[in-house]
Chains A and B, each alone.
Chain A
């Protein structure tokens, strides 16, 4: 592809405005992950009752978002890339919601 003349950059538009992320950002991502790992461990020692798994999952989700947006550059990408990532989350949401439709209502009418 390299010898192909492509002045309007049709073939590889992602490279047109390729965002360079500074090592500082990666450092901040790394530190954030470390800190929140500590928070996860700490939260496990506090008895919040039913809220314990909720807190743990919330922290994990936050860490995942930080990784996806900054470490994986999704924040600086085209709408198509963002849509692709969103498709994965949408599918995951379908999996969880539709499965829960079974678990929530399985005991209805049986008590």
Chain B
């Protein structure tokens, strides 16, 4: 037991420490015990393996895109192949990685434990959602193997309905099915958080991770069906020509975009909100303070979820929507910046006068704070009607949403994976190597995407495989950054795998964190708690923890 001022890590004596004899990982043996499990923790692990698989496929396409853009000429692939590359990159990264990333892995694993429950409300539905994820994933892979799809991830009409002969329906079917996986996850979380909280676990004692996942779940349940029915309409338009999106039959191609972005704008909040929950937990733990303005942070999640439904047409400002409508949507878009800023400011105030230590999850969290702020602020540029006309459909947009999704969400995901890795596996990751990975990711990310802001501002359009020679220097910088970023993502895969066998034994609470999940053994029992816990203190109560720890020492001594 050693605690210094530079770290809060508190590991048991490695000579005597053992992984608990009974835990969820070894409770049952064999592949079938995993494939037919109802245990939320095992399903989380299944999801973690699955989304990692798809992340590296999507990442490979990102690499190919950057490789093509190394030179101004179209020398690596033909233009239509390039279109297929970025379509597959978008579809896989959004539907198969970002949307399920934090909720389906960390959320599945942690929400029941955080609220003191034995499992989610519907364990079998939870397993079903993983199977649906894979069925949808296989459809997407089938579209890829059979020759690809080149609509972009947006399936925009009339391109997708009238002009393409690629595998649009196959890919759309995949997305349709994955959508139900997402709906089931959201439904499960909502019911679990309403019904299965332990005695004393009131709404305002929930960890903020639960609040943000709750908000994201509402979006999943209310938004995803709209995407599903929209994709059905695209398929019907292609197959039988029903004419909903065809002006010659009285339809309107813009209607597709209204319906699509009605889901897909809230979908970016489905992606980012759970990540914000991770950041709340990490920042509180590594500055040893209760999250500043707990209630404001909790309600800002709900506010983002609500406002998220009122802003979608900012994706369509130059598409021919009414100017008056665009004005309203532009104004409403500015509103979303408010709850996002509330979160950023409250995290900053949580850090103020905290006892900050710089373990790996905290490094990723700092990365999130800076990069998400840049991503969010450039979103305000794009929400302004005049600026949008200049910047939309350029690399500025690409840089903006990668700052939010990769710089924000992926940083938060990696912060969460490192933070809860000891709880999930019972073993620590190697600290210095993981710090190196966090810094590498941050440098690689900025090198990749900062030049794209400039490229976009100078007028380089997105979705083209060739560009004027004067843009080459910035594109070379970006491609070079992508290789650094790639190494930053490969490193965790390697050392986290290594740590499964060789990592230090973590003990119950290596971070001395306050959440219920840290008060049980690592890895947890299948039933999580031996007896139903009773929550008798507020969330992030470090005095309660210090008191409890002191008493434990007295008892042992």
Contacts and interface: CB of A to CB of B under 8 A. Distances in A.
A75 B226 CA distance: 26
A94 B310 CA distance: 7
Contact of A105 (B199, B258, B325, B532): B325
A17 B322 CA distance: 51
Nearest to B312: A98
A65 to B, nearest CB: 19
A47 interface: no
B515 to A, nearest CB: 22
Contacts of A102: 254, 258, 313, 321-322, 325
A106 B325 contact: yes
Contacts of A88: 222
Given A91-B223, A101-B322, A101-B324, 18 more contacts: A11-B196, A87-B218, A91-B222, A91-B309, A95-B226, A95-B262, A98-B313, A99-B258, A99-B262, A101-B325, A101-B328, A102-B254, A102-B321, A102-B325, A105-B324, A106-B320, A108-B324, A109-B323
B232 to A, nearest CB: 16
A81 to B, nearest CB: 10
Given A87-B218, A94-B309, A99-B258, A80 B194 contact: yes
B539 to A, nearest CB: 20
Interface string A71-108: 00000000010000001100100110011011111111
Nearest to A80: B194
B537 interface: no
A94 B255 CA distance: 15
Contacts of A98: 310, 312-313, 329
Given A11-B195, A91-B309, A105 B322 contact: yes
Nearest to A107: B322
A59 B258 CA distance: 26
A108 B328 CA distance: 15
Contacts of A103: 252, 322
Interface in B257-311: 258-259, 262, 309-310
Interface of A: 4, 10-12, 80, 87-88, 91, 94-95, 98-99, 101-109
Interface of B: 194-196, 199, 218, 222-223, 226, 252, 254-255, 258-259, 262, 309-310, 312-313, 320-325, 328-329, 532
Contacts of B328: 101
Contacts, number: 52
Given A87-B222, A88-B222, A106 B313 contact: no
B304 to A, nearest CB: 15
A105 B320 CA distance: 12
Contacts of B222: 87-88, 91
Contacts of B312: 98
Nearest to A84: B190
Nearest to A108: B324
Nearest to B532: A4
A106 B324 CA distance: 8
Nearest to A5: B532
A106 B322 contact: yes
Contacts of A105: 322-325
21 contacts: A10-B199, A80-B194, A94-B309, A95-B262, A98-B310, A98-B312, A99-B255, A99-B259, A101-B324, A101-B328, A102-B313, A102-B322, A102-B325, A105-B325, A106-B321, A106-B322, A106-B325, A107-B322, A108-B322, A108-B323, A108-B324
Nearest to B319: A102
Contacts of A87: 218, 222
Nearest to A94: B309
B328 to A, nearest CB: 6
Contacts of A80: 194
A10 B195 CA distance: 8
Contacts of B255: 99
Contacts of A99: 255, 258-259, 262
Contacts of B325: 101-102, 105-106
A102 B252 CA distance: 12
A49 B43 CA distance: 56
Contacts of A12: 195
A12 to B, nearest CB: 7
A105 B327 CA distance: 11
Contacts of A94: 309-310
A80 B313 CA distance: 31
A17 to B, nearest CB: 16
Nearest to B326: A102
A36 B372 CA distance: 53
Contacts of A107: 322
A80 B195 CA distance: 11
Contacts of B262: 95, 99
A101 B312 CA distance: 12
